[in-house]
Amino acid sequence: TGMCTQVGLIAKRLGQNKSITEKNPLMSAVNKLASYLALVLALVILCATLVAFGTGYQDPQKPCAEKDEVCFLKTAVLRAVVMSVALIPHGLPFICTVMLYVGSQGISKRQGLVMKVSAVDYLAATTVICSDKTGTLTEGRMSASVVLGFCQDEATRASGSSARESSLSFYPLKGLSPNGGIFSSNEVSQKHKDQMEKDFEATSHRQNFSQPGLRDLGVFSERSEAMKEGSLDALLAGIHMAMAFLACHGTSLVKSDAWEAKGNP
């Protein structure tokens, strides 16, 4: 139990100190910029050396002898190195620091809590955030509006095609109220939603929100009829509801001023 389970082992690994060689997104971007900059500087040094040597550039303070090619070459290389040093952006670390601070301020204005400025670059590089719906995270204020399911049957596996996708929408969403329907996402239109809002009864525990051209797959009879027609959405709707029931075993909904969950949903 506890940290001895497979989930516990994952937690241990996540808690381990990161390697000093592991780079965050900002460091990776700066290193990439440095690689490009090093290539440009090498080209600048090469070109400047050839131009200075070809034109016979002289250092006024230490002029070379007329036919001393070694001296000319040293002077040309020194001149090229000085030019390349001038091209290095010495203010880059300061600019990165200012960017992180400005980013943290922008996140704070959007009600985000940034504990470390170094976390800003991770947030900026994030495209998808995957999280579980726990009471700790949502405090019961978040509701699932769409659930996606993927299924690969024998026909699709034999043909080598990708899995079949099912998208189900929950509507209407009224907090923790159990009164709502499950529909195929591609069938729900704004007109249907407006009609459901109009028909919604706050005191009812469960209504049938089926309409012409729209089946409420949360209703057993409607779901059974759709399954006879081979509807993948209807099949997965039943599976999702069964999984939700098993996951919320021991939890109940209580109606006072508003619907509340008793237990651990």
User: How many residues does the structure list for the chain?
Assistant: 265
Q: How far is CA 45 from the centre of its chain?
A: 42
The catalytic residues are 132
